Amino acid sequence: MFLEDLKLINFRSFPELRIKSFNKINCLIGENGAGKTNFMEGVYLLSSNRGFRTGDRKELTYRNAEGFFIQGSFDGDMIARTITEKKKQLTLNEEAIPANKLRVYNPIVAFSPNDIFLATGSSDTRRRFFDAAIALRDHEYSDYLATYERALRQRNASLKKDPKHANLWNEALITSGAKIIEKRLAFVKLLIPKVQTLYAELAKGSANLKYFNNFKLTQNIEEGLKKALKDSSSDDLRRKHTTKGPHRDDITILINDLPAAKSGSQGQNRTLSFALKIGSVEIIEETLGRKPILLVDDALLEVDPSKRKRIFDKINSLGVQLFLTATTKEFFSFIDKQEEVNYIDFDL
Ligand SMILES: Nc1ncnc2c1ncn2[C@@H]1O[C@H](COP(=O)(O)OP(=O)(O)O)[C@@H](O)[C@H]1O
Ligand SMILES: [Mg+2]
């Protein structure tokens, strides 16, 4: 997809911002606090329901305004989001579109310095990355996830207050949970060869991924999960929460066959996070037949200057529309001179 025109009204620090022309490469320049991330967040909200920092209406709304409005033209299609206290509206060409359909219609992937936690952080961080990436290629995934999370909350609440009814939620947990695992396994299978290739291109050494689920997987995932819930029922009662299921799965990331979280260097882990994100962008494109838009918010800042060009060239070779940030124009010296770059100055 290609953003051609953007309008933000009462969004974050912008009472009104209109930009009517973009290029394939767009560089946002401005001091800290100038509004670069705010801009990125506005664009992101034309794909996803949550800003990448928050989903809170008041935080996203300019000062004390009633609410905000964001509108963008992508490949000739108009996407708009209105959020006020009374009204929540999401439209594609002036017709309502559900959030999960919009995400796959207009996939946008954000890169940030926090991506290093994909390698070093908790399993929760990795699950969130996988869940977000899968939801961009499969509109059913977020529904399964929502169903699973609701059933899990209710089951855990029952285990605390009303244990004899806890198993009432098992069926919902099993059907949605099995789908989640199936879709994660399919995604990881596609991602592994991509991450291996990308990592080898960007650094020395090898990278790999392993999906660990916390019960025995059989041909029929539902049966396996059903058995796991049954076998762990006394454990669950004692601990007052659900111990088995995809909410506890982890994806281990290895560099040179060792867990990145423990033994990867900063540089290796950063490179790895780029390989994971770029790999997922390739999968999203291959699945949908559409190129996601990439928001690279300060992510290259933390990269060793000698490596910036290599990573940028790789991202740029995806042929996607790019938005990048820095405090000065000079920072972007890694971009080839012949590229047509749209500089957007936020200090003016
Ligand atoms: N809801 C809001 N209303 C008004 N100003 C806001 C709002 N949210 C954030 N800001 C302002 O936006 C600025 C941060 O902008 P940001 O996009 O994060 O800057 P950067 O260019 O460093 O990425 C801060 O000065 C903050 O006060
Ligand atoms: Mg910022």
Is the domain spanning 1-107+291-348 CATH 1.10.150.120? The answer is no
Cα(120)–Cα(84) distance, integer angstroms: 38
Q: Which amino acid is at 199?
A: Y
Q: What is the mean pLDDT of residues 171-198?
A: 97
Show the tokens assigned to 123. 């399993």
Closest C-alpha among 136, 156, 161, 144 to residue 282: 136
The pLDDT, as a whole number, for residue 218 is 86
Alpha-carbon dihedral angle through residues 213, 218, 219, 220, given to the nearest 10 degrees? -90
Mutate to test the pocket of ligand 1, among 8, 9, 16, 38 (most ligand atoms within 8 A of CB): 38
Mean pLDDT of 119-145: 94
**Residue 63 in contact with ligand 1 by CB distance below 6 A:** yes
CA angle 317, 319, 323 (to 5 degrees): 95
| β pairing state of 88-92 and 77-84 | antiparallel
Q: For residues 23-40, give the mean pLDDT.
A: 97
Q: Classify 286 in phi/psi space as left (phi over 0), alpha (psi -120 to 50) or beta.
A: alpha
Q: DSSP string of 300-331?
A: TTTS-HHHHHHHHHHHHTTT--EEEEESSGGG
At 140, which amino acid appears? E
Report the side by side order of strands in the sheet with 322-326.
108-111, 293-296, 322-326, 25-29, 341-345
| Token pair of 199 as six digits | 């990592």
Centre of ligand 1 from the C-alpha of residue 32, in Å: 9
Helix (H) or strand (E) holding 182: helix 170-202
Domain chopping of the chain, boundaries: 1-107+291-348
Per-residue pLDDT, 51? 73
Distance 327 CA to ligand 2 centre (A): 10
Atom of ligand 1 nearest to the CA of 32: 22
Q: How far is CA 330 from CA 109, 116, 247, 324, 334, in A?
A: 25, 25, 44, 13, 9
In sequence order, the 6+-apart residues with CB closer than 8 A to the CB of 34 are 346, 347
33 lines ligand 1 (CB under 6 A): yes
Instruction: State yes or no: pLDDT of 52 exceeds 80.
Output: no
pLDDT confidence of 53, banded at 50, 70, 90? confident
With 0.85 as the threshold, say if the pTM is over it: yes
Statement: residue 136 has pLDDT above 90: yes
Q: 65: number of CA atoms within 13 Å, CB side?
A: 20
Q: Best substitution site from 12, 40, 60, 331 to test ligand 1's pocket, by max atoms within 8 Å of Cβ? A: 12
Answer yes or no: are the C-beta atoms of 62 and 10 closer than 8 Å. Answer: yes
Contacts (Cβ under 8 Å, ≥6 apart) of 323: 26, 28, 39, 40, 43, 293, 294, 295, 296, 297
Residue in this structure with the two tokens 């796991």, named with its chain if needed? 228
Residue pLDDT, tens place only, 333-345: 999 999 999 999 9
In the predicted structure, residue 170 carries a pLDDT above the cut 90: yes
Q: What pLDDT sits at residue 248?
A: 94
Cβ(10) – ligand 1 distance below 6 Å: no
Kindly provide the b/e burial profile for residues 229-259, where b requires at least 16 CB atoms within 10 angstroms of the residue's own CB. Answer: beebbeebeeeeebbbbbbebebebbbeeee
Pocket test for ligand 1, best of 13, 57, 325 (most atoms within 8 A of CB): 13
- Does ligand 1 lie within 6 Å of residue 283's CB atom? no
Q: Chain-wide mean pLDDT for the chain? A: 95
State mean pLDDT over 283-294. Answer: 97
